[in-house]
Structure 1
Amino acid sequence: MSFWSNPFARSTATPLLAAVSAEREARTTGATIDTQESNARLIALLGMGSQTSSAGVVVNERTALSFAAVWACVLAISQDIAALPCQLYRDIPSGGKEKVYGHPASRLLNLQASPLQNAMPHRMAMMATVLLHGNAYALIDEGPRYRPDALLYKHPRQTEVRESNGRLYYRFWGDPRTYQDYQVIHLRGLVLDENGIMGLSVLAAHRENLGTGLAAQRAGAQFYANGARLSGVLETPNTFKDGTASARIRADWQAIYGGTENAGKVAVLENGLTFKSVSMPPADAQFLETRKFTRQEVCSIFRVPLHKIQDLERSTNNNIEQQGLDYTTNTLQPWLVNIEQEYRLKLLRDSEVETHYWRHNLNALLRADASARATFYGKMTDIGVMSINEVRELEDMNGIGAEGDRRFVQVNRMPLDKVDEVISKNSKPATGTPPDEQA
């Protein structure tokens, strides 16, 4: 009996793959299959006919990204993280650290992840997937020397995960092989399942919030599709003999006055028809307020400040820099730690894990304006924390030679244990006779 058919292995397989596996087994054994029911189940599991919110809107990856706030939040986080250089460091036995160059994984993370993807699109896809689905996978394709040769992106719908004896095993759509946990990069979001293995899908956890936003967006689209005019009724003192006349009038009205291109046209009514509005204006129905509140809800879900999605209503020149620092510290930093730990365990050899580690360079995001940077660098060089060459490196400038590695301190600064000595020295009486006693 193979592992994948072991009844004692706990499965965290996606429902889609479980359904496909069940259907494949049924076909192999010759069991009768209801094709219509099978197709309907697969379509539902793909998110094309299920996951409907209370607002009556289907919430899946495709529909959620059609909501501008979701798109902006996912794009901001995934782009910002993917654009950060990921450097490998090594602890020095005598203390400190040094950069490590030439590791094969460095090329995968900073230049080309695989023949199909450069590093930037690959890391963006991984981040966007884990943000929406709670899990993201990349198969580590090893070279002849058991070193990482490529990172192959795998979508959660194409991935099945099982746990047995404290180890995880993976299978992917169209691949008969079973991979162990050290062969797969597995990024997780918030983990709440009973096994502590799988990340929770944002689309599932916040289906109602996202459904409300999508419904409001759809309502706005319909509002403008109807010529940005209020719904109402056409009244007439006459009586229609059948439904044909009323249907024709309704169709003619929509064709002539419907759509934004027809907004503002003068209506010409015949046969005693009058138009009577029966709807409340969108502002009175708090339509705009609902959309604004939903944008704020989406930003809170992803922990993204409003200015990152171009909502500058509450941003000023005084607080937008602080908001940017808060975004880096509270939004990006937890994800970066998550990613760095996974890279360290999966992309380094056992002999390297204890002394080597990955770090993302956040200097580009933490930079303030030129005046603030100059003040910061001045303080760091005055107390000997940074050298001139280190400052120039942060500014993407070449060093000035060995003399640029020297560190300096202000001459009027002294160690605390020397304060009493200096005070005692300065309090000694001067030699010679005081001026007032020289007469």
Structure 2
Amino acid sequence: MTGQLLNLEANQHRSRVLDSWIAGRDGAAERTGVVALGENSSGSLTMSELANLIGAAHRSSSGSQVTAETGMRVSAAYGCMSLIAGAIATLPLGIYERKGNDRDSADHEYWWMLNEKASDGWSASAAWEALILSKLSHGDGFGEWIRPSPFSNRVTGWKPLKRQTVQPFKDGKEVYYRITPDDGPVYVLDRADVIHLPSLGFDGLTSPSPLTYAALEAIGTALAAQEYTGRFLAGGGNFDYALKTASKLDKTQLEQLKASLIARAQNGGRGPLILSGGLEPAQLSVNSKDAEILATRLFTVEEICRIFGVPPFMVGHTTKTTSFGSGIGEMGMGFVRYTLQRHLTPITQEVNSKLWPVRQRFFVEHITAALERGDIKARYEAYRTALGRAGEQPFMDATEIRRLENMPPNAKLNLNGGTSAEQPDQAPGEQQEAP
């Protein structure tokens, strides 16, 4: 135990709050108890929580074993998680400064780690995608703020943490996180040093996995259907059949039939089946359409999409129309409003509370304009109204519109979007005559 305590104190990622608490303790026995607290805190875990933590499988009614890893083998679940995590990872995270009731874009040092490079070995996009994927598959996404020293309030970067390496626990009213990395000693982090994105069903420490809780039966059914289809195709795509005849076969005919069946089986179920003695084939199994195997797989797609809040058409399930609207802008706004926003708001609240816990001068906010943009015709009509060309009061100028379209400013454009009138050439000191 003492050796683990030394490793805890030597680790560069230790918590600044927890370190000051440990430093104030007197006596090795008391300090050893702090480490024991982090190690023995799993006693309050339920069997379900322990199974989620170690990645144990949950058995569905179909008999398939469902885990966060096997769940991603179902294309609908993989598509939903890939869509959500990828969309959030590519959204810019703007930093703003409050100025009374207004706000303005801020040139802050944290912008780089939130949008470009999270830390060594992690681009910001890859780190956000890993964090959101952990939340969607395991129920909780964890990350660690990297500080220049254990007692610094400044953050120099961050990195995602594997769900199975993080164990939250309580000491009184305080929440701590015991980290068991794949390589290196165990260490404990304070809440201020951890990014924690919970899911629906959060109990203050952990959240249930959507894959093994809400989607257990849908994922299990999809896995069983995939396995059955694979076995069916591996067997040559043939259904079971029987042989019937109105007469009685003699010994010679039975031997011939047996040899024919063995030869066909040894050939992988291919080749003709030689029948004699009035034998006729009779199909026993119904075809795939009658058995509704295909319908079952389509149903699981809709069930999985419903759990993740993703419209089926966005993962390639185009058998039904969408209620988001038919235009690109309408579908983008619907996706942001009803699917992404439930993830974006917790992210910004977690980042704001950890980066600026006391002073609320700065804050972050995702820039979703790119996803909500309509087609070019709809945008240009909106810009026309914004410039006051449709008889409306103008509230934008050409420079602001060019900025939204990622175009550089044009000095020849006036505030109303027109071209500045060019003055005739004049010689130095020459005055223009009054009209």
Whether the TM-score (by the shorter chain) exceeds 0.5 is: yes
CA distance in 2, matches of 1:153, 1:307: 30
Q: Which SS does the other structure have where 1:97 is aligned?
A: strand
CA distance in 1, matches of 2:310, 2:394: 36
Residue of structure 2 equivalent to 1:131: 136
1:284 partnered with 2:290: yes
Matches within 5 A, 1:409-428: none
Change (3 A) 1:51 1:372: same
Matches within 5 A, 1:139-178: 139-144=144-149, 146-174=153-181, 175-178=185-188
Residue of structure 1 equivalent to 2:365: 359
Change (3 A) 1:12 1:188: farther
CA contact (8 A) 2:139 2:198 kept: yes
Which residue among 250, 255, 267 is the counterpart of 1:256? 267
Shift of residue 168, structure 1, vs aligned partner: 1.3
Residue of structure 2 equivalent to 1:56: 63
CA distance in 2, matches of 1:253, 1:117: 56
Shift of residue 139, structure 1, vs aligned partner: 1.2
Q: Give the partner amino acid of 1:208.
A: E
Shift of residue 234, structure 1, vs aligned partner: 5.7
Shift of residue 152, structure 1, vs aligned partner: 2.2
Shift of residue 355, structure 1, vs aligned partner: 1.9
Which residue among 339, 344, 350 is the counterpart of 2:347? 339
Residue of structure 2 equivalent to 1:435: none
Shift of residue 271, structure 1, vs aligned partner: 7.1
RMSD: 3.4
Change (3 A) 1:389 1:239: farther
Matches within 5 A, 1:3-402: 3-6=34-37, 45-47=54-56, 50-93=57-100, 95-103=101-109, 105-144=110-149, 146-174=153-181, 175-193=185-203, 196-205=204-213, 206-233=215-242, 237=249, 252-258=263-269, 266-269=271-274, 275-315=281-321, 319=326, 321=328, 322-348=330-356, 350-351=358-359, 354-382=360-388, 383-401=393-411
Residue of structure 2 equivalent to 1:25: none
CA contact (8 A) 2:55 2:68 kept: no
CA distance in 1, matches of 2:169, 2:251: 69
Q: Give the partner amino acid of 1:3.
A: V
Change (3 A) 1:385 1:148: same
Q: Give the partner amino acid of 2:191.
A: D
Shift of residue 275, structure 1, vs aligned partner: 4.1
Identical-pair percentage: 25
Change (3 A) 1:298 1:224: same
CA contact (8 A) 2:168 2:205 kept: no
CA distance in 1, matches of 2:224, 2:128: 31
Number of residue pairs aligned between Structure 1 and Structure 2? 368
Residue of structure 2 equivalent to 1:419: none
CA contact (8 A) 1:226 1:254 kept: no
Shift of residue 11, structure 1, vs aligned partner: 5.2
Q: Which SS does the other structure have where 2:212 is aligned?
A: helix
Shift of residue 119, structure 1, vs aligned partner: 1.1
Q: Which SS does the other structure have where 1:229 is aligned?
A: coil
CA distance in 2, matches of 1:217, 1:230: 17
Q: Deviations over 1:22-43 (max 9, x none)?
A: xxxxxxxxxxxxxxxxxxx99x
Q: Which has the higher mean CA deviation after the structures are superposed, 274-283 or 135-144?
A: 274-283
Using structure 1 for the length normalisation, give the TM-score. 0.74
Residue of structure 2 equivalent to 1:38: none
CA distance in 2, matches of 1:223, 1:291: 15
Change (3 A) 1:164 1:137: same
CA contact (8 A) 1:235 1:275 kept: yes
Change (3 A) 1:218 1:81: same
CA distance in 2, matches of 1:121, 1:14: 31
Shift of residue 13, structure 1, vs aligned partner: 7.7
Q: Give the partner amino acid of 2:147.
A: E
CA distance in 1, matches of 2:156, 2:251: 78
Change (3 A) 1:349 1:225: same
Q: Which has the higher mean CA deviation after the structures are superposed, 63-72 or 139-148?
A: 139-148
Give unpaired runs (5+ residues) of structure 2.
Answer: 1-29, 418-435
Q: Which SS does the other structure have where 1:66 is aligned?
A: coil
Shift of residue 252, structure 1, vs aligned partner: 4.4
Q: Which SS does the other structure have where 2:144 is aligned?
A: strand
CA contact (8 A) 2:76 2:304 kept: yes
